[in-house]
Amino acid sequence: MPVFSWFLPDGRLLISYRPAIHAARQGAIEDDVRALTRTCTAILEDEIRRRPEFWMWMHNRWRTRPPGTERAQPAGAGPPRRGARMSRPAIFMDRDGTICEEVGYVNHLSRCRLLPRSLEAIRGVNRLGYLAVVATNQSGVARGLFTEDLVRAVHDQLRGWVESGGGRLDALYYCPHHPREGAPPYRIECECRKPRPGMLVRAAREHDIDLSRSWMIGDSLVDLEAGAAAGARVVHVLTGYGIGLRDNQPERFHVQPAHTATDLLAAVRFIAAQEGRAAALEGA
Ligand SMILES: [Zn+2]
C-alpha cells in the first residue's frame, strides 16, 4: 500500500504513506478508507508545500497543484525550487536502442556501438540549446554481469565519440539497481530505475532543468513512462525495441508519445520543428 515513496540520493526516505499506514495498523482509522485517503492526502500536500519541486514528480497522478505551492521560496532555503531560475530545458536520451545499438547487456566496451545518425542528433540537441542528458537502466550491474566501472568506461567512450564528432553530452545518469535480482546494495526498489523518473528528477536538481520544457527520447516503454512521470514530453524512436513495440504490442503504450520518429535525429528534428527552429539544425 505505500503507493508513494521518494528517496533522496543518499538513501534517506523523503516521503511515503507510512505515517498513515502506521495509524491504520493501530486501529485508529480501521475500515475507514476515506479517512486514510484524507490523511495521506494531507501528508502529501504538506510535503509538496514544503518542497514544491516534488510536485513535478507527483503531478502526473496529482493533477491539481495543492494550494500554497506557487509561492516563491526564500533565497538560499534548501535545494533549488521549481521557478524562474530552473529555466534550462533538456533533451533526455535513452542509451541502448536510442543513441547506441540495442545488443542486450553491454558487458564489454566493444559491445557499445553508435547508431548511424546519433552524433548528428546530439550536435542538434546542443545547437537547439537543450542540455543533452543520457538516462540509462543498467541492471546488469545488479545482476552481477558487469561493474559500475564498466558502465563508466562505456560512458567515457561515448562522451569521447560525441566530442570527437563536435558535440557534447552534458550529463549521463545510469541506474545500476534491480528490485528482485542480485544482491545488496544493488538489489533494491530504487527510484531511479525507469519507468520511475528518479534520474530525470535528479538531473533537474543538479543542472537546473525545467522538466516541463524538456523532452525524453527513447525506444522502450519505460523511457516514455519515465519521461511522462517527470513532466516532460516524450518522443518514441523506432530503433532498438521501438519498431517491434509499435508493431506487436501497441496496447502496452500507456503513455502516448507526442511523436514517433525513425531514429534519434528524426526525433530531434521533430522537436526543433515544434519550436519553429528547424533551420537551427541545418549543417549540424
Ligand atoms: Zn536505480
pLDDT in tens, 125-182: 999 999 999 999 999 999 999 999 999 999 999 999 999 999 999 999 999 999 999 9
What are the extents of the domains in the chain? Answer: 1-82, 90-281
What distance in Å separates the CA atoms of residue 38 and residue 20, rounded to the nearest whole number? 9
Residue 283 binned pLDDT confidence (cut-offs 50, 70, 90): confident
pLDDT tens digits, residue range 84-108? 454 899 999 999 999 999 999 999 9
Residue showing cell 522502450: 220
User: Of the residues 96, 210, 219, 263, which is catalytic?
Assistant: 96
Active site residue 10: no
C-alpha cell at 215: 523532452
What does the alpha-carbon distance between residue 267 and residue 216 come to, in Å, rounded to a whole number? 10
For residue 260, report the distance from its CA to the centre of ligand 1, in Å.
27
Of 68-72, 76-80, 175-179, 240-244, which range is least confident?
76-80
Task: Calculate how far, in angstroms, residue 190's C-alpha sits from the geometric centre of ligand 1.
Answer: 5
CB 275 within 8 A of CB 233: no
Tell me how far the alpha carbon of residue 115 lies from the centroid of ligand 1, in angstroms: 25
**Cα distance from N-terminal residue to C-terminal residue, the chain:** 49
> Whole-model pTM?
0.72
Higher pLDDT, 67 or 232: 232
Q: What is the CATH number of domain 90-281?
A: 3.40.50.1000
Spacing, Cα 201 to ligand 1 middle (Å): 13
CA pair distance 208, 198, nearest whole angstrom = 15
* Coil vs helix vs strand at 43: helix
Under the banding of pLDDT at 50, 70 and 90, the label for residue 230 is very high
Q: Which amino acid is at 220?
A: S
Ligand 1 centre to CA of 180 (Å) is: 12
pLDDT tens digits along 167-223: 999 999 999 999 999 998 999 999 999 999 999 999 999 999 999 999 999 999 999
User: DSSP label at 279?
Assistant: G
Q: Which residue out of 31, 32, 46, 94 is catalytically annotated?
A: 94
Tell me which amino acid residue 207 is.
H
Cα–ligand 1 centroid distance for 142 (angstroms): 10
C-beta of residue 198 within 8 angstroms of C-beta of residue 205? no
The whole-number pLDDT of residue 44 equals: 72
For residues 240 and 263, give the distance between their C-alpha atoms in angstroms, rounded to a whole number.
9
**Which grid cell is 219?**
525506444
Q: How far is CA 196 from the centre of its chain?
A: 7
Active site residue 94: yes
